[in-house]
Structure 1
Amino acid sequence: MTVEELVAAVVALAIVSAKRLGAGLADRAMEGVEQSVADRLGRLYRWIAGRLPGEEGAAVVEEAGRSPAAQALLRRRLVLALGEDPSGVEELRVLLSPHAPVLAHGDFLLLEPSGIPRQLPLAVADFTGRDQELARLVEAAERPGVGRVCLVHGPGGIGKTAIVVQAAHRLMSSFPDGQLFVDLNGAEERPAAVGEVLGDFLVALGVARGRIPDDEAGRTRQFRTELADRRVLIVLDNAAGEQQVGALIPGGSSCAVLITSRQGLATLAVDERVALSGLDEGTAWDLLRRIGGGDRVDEDPESGRDVVRLCGGLPLALRIAGARLATFPARTVGSFARDLADDHRRLDVLSLGERSVRAVFRAGYQALTPLQQRAFRLVSALDTPDLPAWALSPLLDVDADAADACLEGLLLAHLVQARRGEAGGQRIVLHDLARGFSKERAAEQPGDESDSAVRRLLGALLSAADAADAQLRPAGARHSGRDGAVRRPPPDDAVAGDVGEAVEWFEAERVVLVAAVAHAHARGWWDLCWEITDAMSIALEHQWRWDISSQVHELALDAADRLGDGRARAALLRNLGEALRDSGSDVVRAAECFSEAIALFHGSGDAHGESDALGNLGILQRQQGELREAARTLTAAETLFRALPLERGLAWALREKAVISRHHADYTQALAQLDEAQALFAANEETRGIGWILRTRADTEKESTVGGCPLPRRWYAGPWPGHHATSRPAQDPRWAAARTHYEHAAQLLHAVRDHRGLTWATLGLADMALHEGDHTAAELISRALQETDAYGDHRGRSRALTVQALLHAEANRLSDAITLAEQALVGPRDHAGAAQAGFRLARLYGAAGRNHDVLHTLQQSRTHHHAAGMPFPDLADTELSRTLTRPAPRARRFRRHQ
């Protein structure tokens, strides 16, 4: 029958019975009395009235019994109503069927239960991913035994209902006695009443409403009785808590229950607990293409990937994004991605019709306590991807126990997430979309709520950074002027007690501290800005984070200048000089920073700062190969360190002087300086310093064995001051000692996460392997290059390239070898490094028969050797070049050192 024919039939019945229809007959039907024609007509009456607005519907039906015009009007109104709601057509067919009795319930007409309910919603046709989670649910629901209760929990919009319905459809054949489904409205202000849900379930199982107990406990008993011998699958969607679902779980072992909830329902006894997280990038991409149109997304894959990234793996966000693309085909994916990239508009863009990411977050937020709501607003106040869990205490200005309880509430509501940090302890993580909602809620509050909270947090971070910095700072004491900012004691477990803990703490909190500096500068909190920067400076050096160090120190210098604090400026210039020097990005400005810092420290009578700045300038001069100037500067620093006294600062100065002695081939003096430095570091229990001393000792022992010659004997058999061509390094006890010291240094430096020191120890071992013909040289160089590239160590990279060049040449790749060796000479000025790299390049040119290049490069190498005061063969360039102009040695069967 067409819609018009159905409407004509129902209107005809309405005309016949209009005088006799009334709410009373319909009410009798709902009470479960015997079916009759009058009951059917009563339900027909209610159905018609329900399809028309308000009291007007009943009036039109009654008038249809008396007026042909009213009959025509009723037909038109019903056809129009059914056109807007096609589901009503099927309801009407049921009403008119002589073989399908119906029950009226509320505003809906349901088939009279047959005792085998089929209530599952339609499974999502474009369901994507979640294969492992689906397999776990299906396996657990089919597992023999008592219970078989499965919980899927996670934040709103994560796809809990979709995966459970998908699993339920796969399980239908295993539960032939029916499937029950209910939305418990757990995220709403008024969750579903358990008693009403039980009543509906009992009706669906074939129980007449007249036989259903009035009280909840009675309904629970009857529900479990009805299911005792049936195999029924029960889906409880969107549960509010343990108490709500407890009465809806059958007592026997024949049924299975699938539950979804934003809460973890920690005290509920479940057989399988599945926590849903965001979709991975590949699955999210597939979902966006399936909904938004594969061809369309593929036309602009870069913008498509931006959409995926900005949706953060949240299925609801991806579905809305895909639906928007499908709904508005004239709009480009690129323009949609640009709108989505706007932090202030993102949640507006992720809304379509009744579907909204914001609404999902709002429902969870409104369910929180006032303290939890405030915590949720404040965790986004600092622009950082995560926070240590202890940060809630200063943010909220409550004790640690109250903060922990508050965090548990946020985690149970899935509005924030937690992960375990690498150094232990929980970290609070906000999904990017949740962060946007948090900022919206924060913007609705008075401005001082956020500012007061963040100032407390920054004060606590500064206190913790002070404690960690005291373990790392080489000069042994923090800058005396770093005491203007208001501090707040952090929890005991957030304070580093030794060097290892200090390294781990700074590694874990680096991003947070950088965000704190930027936030303090933006707010004009000058003391906090520069003091946090100064406290983290040594840690940034250890971590090779020179670009970050330069960035925060520029902000901190501006803060110090606004305060007019000369001592602060001096400390920051010293730190910035280290970052510029070690990164090689601007060694000229690095020297200027050190020089100004020395003058400022001297003018203020700060001998600690002056000696430290002098030592750092000496390191810069030594790294540039200006060894004579470096020796003078380091001697001045040494004098101050001894007068203070400042043992750790003295130890670092002695190490630098030992490097200079080694370059000058004064190995005895170098070892004596290292002995004194190592004793000082050991007395101060400074593991990192001992590691650097051992590495430098190994360099000295290795070079003393070969007289400083930069080439293995198989590459160069000519004269070199202090080295006999016939000697075999591996037979010298100094060579074995060097290996032992490199390996010990690597262990210590790895333990304190000193990437630079560890990499240079690796370079030393690689150089030894090259001399020995050990095949591990290639492995060690590959590892060192990865590290130097990752952290921007230009000097280390140059040294690694020269070793790799020789290995390539031995493998008959001479052209590649020369290219690498040439690259090694490009970078920051370093007479010592260029001296050795130039000599190796000259040898490669000689192997290629490029005699002119040999001579030119030898002259440059000689110049660098003399500028650095390093020994060089006392031969004419032409005579020396003849010793280098030979074929490259062929790759041998490298042996592994035992």
Structure 2
Amino acid sequence: MTVEELVAAVVALAVVSAKRLGAGLADRAVQGVEQSVVDRLGRLYRWIAGRLPGEEGAVLVHEAGRSPAAQALLRRRLVRALSEDPAGVEELRLLLAPASAFAHGGSVLRESPGVPRQLPSALADFTGRGQEIARLVEAAERPGGCRICLVHGPGGIGKTSVVVQAAHRLTASYPDGQLFVDLNGAEERPAVVAEVLGDFLAALGVPRGGIPDDEAGRTRQFRTESAGRRVLVVLDNAADEQQASALIPGGSACAVLITSRRPLATLAVDERVPLSGLDEGTAWDLLRRIGGADRVDEDPESGRDVVRLCGGLPLALRIAGARLATFPARTVSSFARDLADDHRRLDVLSLGERSVRAVFRAAYQPLPVLQQRAFRLLSALDTPDLPAWALSPLLDVDAGAADACLEGLLLAHLVQARRDRTAGQRIGLHDLARGYSKERAAGHLADEADEADEADEADSAVRRLLGALLGAADAADARLRPAGARHGGRDGAVRHAPPDDALAGNVREAVEWFEAERVVLVAAVTHAHARGWWELCWEITDAMSVALEHQWRWDISVRTHELALDAADSLGDGRARAALLRNLGEALRDGGSDLGRAADCFREAIELFQNSGDAHGESDALGNLGILQRQQGVLREAARTLTAAEMLFRGLPLERGLAWTLREKAVIGRHQAHYTRALAQLDEAQGLFAANDEPRGVGWVLRTRADTEKESVLDGCPLPRRWYTGPWPGHRVVGRPEQDPRWAAARTHYEHAARLLYAVRDHRGHTWTTLGLADMALYEDDHTAAELISRALRETDACGDHRGHSRALTVQALLRAETNRLSDAITLAEQALNGPHDHVGAAQASFRLARLYGAAGRHQDVLHTVRQSRTHHHAAGMPFPDLPDTGLAGALTRPVPRARRFRLHR
């Protein structure tokens, strides 16, 4: 038939449609009579209306039953519309073929099964996902053509449940039917598109004998049958873009909801909804609904353990809840214990046909060999994630092959990826996927008999990875201490070159790299120790020791150095032991956990470095022993030790070590009121740090300079003038401290130091700068002191800086007293004095506590604490009033100063 003949036939049908429907055929159809006639005529009507612009088609069909002129106009309009539309002509042929007999007065050729309603039942215990469902419903109801929505995510994440929930909400919007099919995309044999199309056509009323045999023909007919209808199509578990696109209907008023484990990136969709794990609250609700609220609530702690071990995976939670419901005599705590067993977890998360292991197996088995190997190796190092570049050394392939491999794993949802704050990509396994990865690697599964050599493969892969991590750590460590090595001997382990973009280019990048990789490096040390890879164990530990100091991770530093010392002893390497003892002493000292052992570590390290002729190591260990002695308040002994270190540093020369030593000597000079000499030492130290491009060192010098300038105004007097007007050696108060230009200089240097130390992520240095500013605000009677000291307390408490915490408490105590909370103030000051043994800190803390006792009228406590303060000041060589204890106690026994004025600092 020509186009003109087809149009003549369709116009004839339009006339019949108008007459038959007008005669009440629609009313009879409601009762089930001649339903196929109504369906066919209605479809024809919608097809014509869709081919002509605006409402012209509807008007012409209505008029065609009454006016020959309208019939002629309709024919002309349709011929013009179809003249350049071959696809439309073919649709019209298919539409007319089964209805031609009716057009000539014959009988209906087939019976329609009615409107398809194929949606599965929605889960009664469905929990959460409200935002995702709302997005799907809104997108599917949006006008303007066929809407396609995709929900994608890993197996077991609940994609089908979400789409079915959304589909049931949409049934009223799609009255012409809802089609549903499981495309088996995760199975070895996905559904055949031609067979699915045949089922769809039959559901839409096409007799099996009238369905074309080939896929192309069925696709055309499906598009024709759906044209003009409002049909909702749900394609569950699509394998790929090609499978899904072949099942998209042709009607502009239809909608399609698709689920897939893959993101189907090249498929044009209106709304993409990725699904991730349930949050803890929603997961808890789901477990209670399935396992029984009363049962779970009896032991909420164990219930939350179950939730945590299921990792937010809805399938795992459903199986866990079903197990609890199925075996009511079993306690929740015993189930949680079984689930906590790494070797049994996947066995426990299996019930009947449901299995978490099966989900991972379905994703793993179709992968290429290299991707399967990568999945197995990603669990070899016990760490939550890795930098994405780690795949290259793990697999021993170039970066391009590793990237392609990673893309495949991400598409299969076996690996998770995220961006870290350095803009690098990190990859990891879901906890349950990690269990399956370990099963595969260990060859525990029945089909893994060919993987007997997997352990050797994993060891080789992890050694390459650890070598690359060590190479990157070496580069970052060099950025943190650019002026030279602290010791020799770290060159025994085999290194592998990491990619260039994994290497730190400056101090800031080095600090960020160590922060990002800290957990990985600790896992590397632990793994190397367990495998007996002694060189890797101690060298990785040593490479990250400075970074751990920056990060205040003294507990981690102590733990890793204990393992590394065992590795050095296993090697019989005295140089390695010396280096590690130096690092361990620093961690013990700064963490305040064992100062006596810290001193022993430094002294043994000094001896070992001397015996090996390592002057770099000896000078560094000497300097650190001097810092410990200074922190303990043994200032005279500290000065001697630091002078010995200074002589070694000047002879090497090692400018970095010399600069730090000069800064420490300046601190001692400040405590002993030798301010001019201290400032000269700081001048030299700052010049050395600046010349060697070490901003962290400059920041510490500036902080110490600010401390020195501030105390030179006060001559070390530990109390503001409003609290104490008695004598203090060298202190002659003429006006308020902020009127002295040295005070303004101190504030400027604190603020500059804070910016530098924040930039290089030196939390300890930045916090002590905050302490200095808080102390200034206290002396100024500035209301910002309370805010500053609260911040300092949070930071020192979080990072375990006991000395800094005690200093902060003494300031907070005075602030509390000035707000009429004298009892609380005394408690805080007592806590400060009972902190780490430090003559300098204890000297200040005891004097402030004595003043608080005096405000409370506790005369005996005042006398006792004044004696303590005198002892600490003299032990440290710090100036102290030359008055009898009773006279000094009298000067301290005064009421609390008047209420603070909360004067804003300008």
Does the alignment reach a TM-score above 0.5? yes
Find the aligned partners of 2:347 and 2:487 in 1 and give their Cα distance.
49
Find the aligned partners of 2:488 and 2:178 in 1 and give their Cα distance.
73
Find the aligned partners of 1:113 and 1:120 in 2 and give their Cα distance.
19
Contact 2:663/2:682 (8 A) holds in 1: yes
The 3-state SS of whatever aligns with 1:675 is helix
Deviations, residues 264-308 of structure 1 (Å, cap 9, x unaligned): 111111111111111010000000000001111111010011001
The equivalent of 1:191 in structure 2 is 190
The equivalent of 2:353 in structure 1 is 354
Find the aligned partners of 1:818 and 1:782 in 2 and give their Cα distance.
17
Larger CA deviation: 132-141 vs 510-519 = 132-141
Cα deviation, residue 891, structure 1: 2.5
Find the aligned partners of 1:505 and 1:718 in 2 and give their Cα distance.
52
Counting only pairs closer than 5 Å after superposition, residues 89-128 of structure 1 correspond to structure 2 as 114-128=113-127
Find the aligned partners of 1:245 and 1:364 in 2 and give their Cα distance.
19
- Partner amino acid for 1:476? G
- Partner amino acid for 2:689? F
Aligned partner of 2:467 among 459, 465, 474: 459
Cα deviation, residue 726, structure 1: 4.1
Contact 1:626/1:831 (8 A) holds in 2: yes
The equivalent of 1:260 in structure 2 is 259
The 3-state SS of whatever aligns with 2:413 is coil
Find the aligned partners of 2:733 and 2:532 in 1 and give their Cα distance.
66
Q: Is residue 741 from structure 1 mapped to residue 749 from structure 2 by the alignment?
A: yes
Counting only pairs closer than 5 Å after superposition, residues 508-523 of structure 1 correspond to structure 2 as 508-523=516-531
The equivalent of 2:583 in structure 1 is 575
- Partner amino acid for 2:362? A
Counting only pairs closer than 5 Å after superposition, residues 234-383 of structure 1 correspond to structure 2 as 234-383=233-382
Aligned partner of 1:895 among 896, 899, 903: 903
The equivalent of 2:696 in structure 1 is 688
The 3-state SS of whatever aligns with 2:585 is helix
Find the aligned partners of 1:479 and 1:257 in 2 and give their Cα distance.
67
Find the aligned partners of 2:223 and 2:743 in 1 and give their Cα distance.
81
Cα deviation, residue 398, structure 1: 0.3
- Partner amino acid for 2:831? Q
The 3-state SS of whatever aligns with 1:150 is strand
The equivalent of 1:763 in structure 2 is 771
Contact 2:797/2:805 (8 A) holds in 1: yes
Cα deviation, residue 114, structure 1: 2.5
- Partner amino acid for 1:874? D
Find the aligned partners of 1:747 and 1:872 in 2 and give their Cα distance.
35
Contact 1:470/1:478 (8 A) holds in 2: no
Find the aligned partners of 1:386 and 1:682 in 2 and give their Cα distance.
37
Aligned partner of 1:633 among 622, 626, 641: 641
The equivalent of 1:643 in structure 2 is 651
- Partner amino acid for 2:334? S
Aligned partner of 1:584 among 581, 586, 592: 592
Find the aligned partners of 1:340 and 1:113 in 2 and give their Cα distance.
53
Aligned partner of 1:807 among 812, 815, 835: 815
Deviations, residues 315-358 of structure 1 (Å, cap 9, x unaligned): 00000000000001111101100111111100000111110100
Counting only pairs closer than 5 Å after superposition, residues 39-188 of structure 1 correspond to structure 2 as 114-188=113-187
TM-score normalised by length of structure 2: 0.86
Larger CA deviation: 529-538 vs 141-150 = 141-150
Contact 2:227/2:250 (8 A) holds in 1: yes
- Partner amino acid for 2:380? A
Larger CA deviation: 674-683 vs 477-486 = 477-486
Contact 1:310/1:340 (8 A) holds in 2: yes
Find the aligned partners of 1:251 and 1:763 in 2 and give their Cα distance.
71
The 3-state SS of whatever aligns with 1:239 is coil
Find the aligned partners of 1:706 and 1:130 in 2 and give their Cα distance.
63
> Structure 2: where are the runs of 5+ without partners?
1-109, 444-450
Find the aligned partners of 1:253 and 1:780 in 2 and give their Cα distance.
64
- Partner amino acid for 2:344? R
Find the aligned partners of 2:228 and 2:491 in 1 and give their Cα distance.
75
The equivalent of 2:44 in structure 1 is none
Q: How many residues of Structure 1 are paired with residues of Structure 2 in the alignment?
A: 788
Cα deviation, residue 246, structure 1: 0.9
The equivalent of 1:845 in structure 2 is 853
The 3-state SS of whatever aligns with 2:418 is strand
The equivalent of 2:783 in structure 1 is 775
Q: Is residue 867 from structure 1 mapped to residue 875 from structure 2 by the alignment?
A: yes
Deviations, residues 752-796 of structure 1 (Å, cap 9, x unaligned): 111100000001111111111111111111111111111100000
Find the aligned partners of 2:317 and 2:487 in 1 and give their Cα distance.
51
Cα deviation, residue 250, structure 1: 2.1
The equivalent of 2:481 in structure 1 is 473
Deviations, residues 459-512 of structure 1 (Å, cap 9, x unaligned): 000000000011113762154211111110000000111111110100000000
Cα deviation, residue 890, structure 1: 3.1
Contact 1:147/1:271 (8 A) holds in 2: no
- Partner amino acid for 2:395? L
The equivalent of 2:229 in structure 1 is 230
Cα deviation, residue 725, structure 1: 3.7
The 3-state SS of whatever aligns with 2:888 is helix
Deviations, residues 380-427 of structure 1 (Å, cap 9, x unaligned): 100000000000000000000000000000001111110001111110
Find the aligned partners of 1:475 and 1:582 in 2 and give their Cα distance.
22
- Partner amino acid for 1:786? R
Aligned partner of 1:556 among 555, 564, 579: 564
> Cα 1:807–1:215, aligned 2, differ >3 Å: closer, same or farther?
same
The equivalent of 1:200 in structure 2 is 199
Contact 2:488/2:617 (8 A) holds in 1: no
Deviations, residues 64-106 of structure 1 (Å, cap 9, x unaligned): xxxxxxxxxxxxxxxxxxxxxxxxxxxxxxxxxxxxxxxxxxx
The equivalent of 1:857 in structure 2 is 865
The 3-state SS of whatever aligns with 1:125 is coil
The 3-state SS of whatever aligns with 1:214 is coil
> Cα 1:693–1:113, aligned 2, differ >3 Å: closer, same or farther?
farther
> Cα 1:541–1:474, aligned 2, differ >3 Å: closer, same or farther?
farther
Find the aligned partners of 1:253 and 1:412 in 2 and give their Cα distance.
31
Cα deviation, residue 851, structure 1: 0.5
Find the aligned partners of 1:141 and 1:654 in 2 and give their Cα distance.
71
Q: Is residue 831 from structure 1 mapped to residue 830 from structure 2 by the alignment?
A: no
- Partner amino acid for 2:547? A
> Cα 1:890–1:112, aligned 2, differ >3 Å: closer, same or farther?
farther
Contact 1:811/1:890 (8 A) holds in 2: no
> Structure 1: where are the runs of 5+ without partners?
1-110
Find the aligned partners of 2:903 and 2:316 in 1 and give their Cα distance.
58
The 3-state SS of whatever aligns with 1:717 is coil
The equivalent of 1:819 in structure 2 is 827
Taking only the aligned residue pairs, the percentage that are identical comes to 85
Q: Is residue 731 from structure 1 mapped to residue 739 from structure 2 by the alignment?
A: yes
Find the aligned partners of 2:470 and 2:786 in 1 and give their Cα distance.
44
- Partner amino acid for 2:510? A
Counting only pairs closer than 5 Å after superposition, residues 383-532 of structure 1 correspond to structure 2 as 383-444=382-443, 445=451, 446=453, 447-473=455-481, 476-477=484-485, 479-532=487-540
Cα deviation, residue 868, structure 1: 0.3
Find the aligned partners of 2:161 and 2:178 in 1 and give their Cα distance.
16
- Partner amino acid for 1:689? G
Contact 2:229/2:251 (8 A) holds in 1: no
- Partner amino acid for 2:207? A
Deviations, residues 84-142 of structure 1 (Å, cap 9, x unaligned): xxxxxxxxxxxxxxxxxxxxxxxxxxx98524110000001111111111111111111
TM-score normalised by length of structure 1: 0.87
Contact 2:470/2:539 (8 A) holds in 1: yes
Root-mean-square deviation over aligned CA pairs: 1.1
Find the aligned partners of 1:754 and 1:689 in 2 and give their Cα distance.
10
Q: Is residue 699 from structure 1 mapped to residue 698 from structure 2 by the alignment?
A: no
Contact 2:486/2:620 (8 A) holds in 1: no
The equivalent of 2:723 in structure 1 is 715
Deviations, residues 799-844 of structure 1 (Å, cap 9, x unaligned): 0000000010000000100000000012221000000000000000
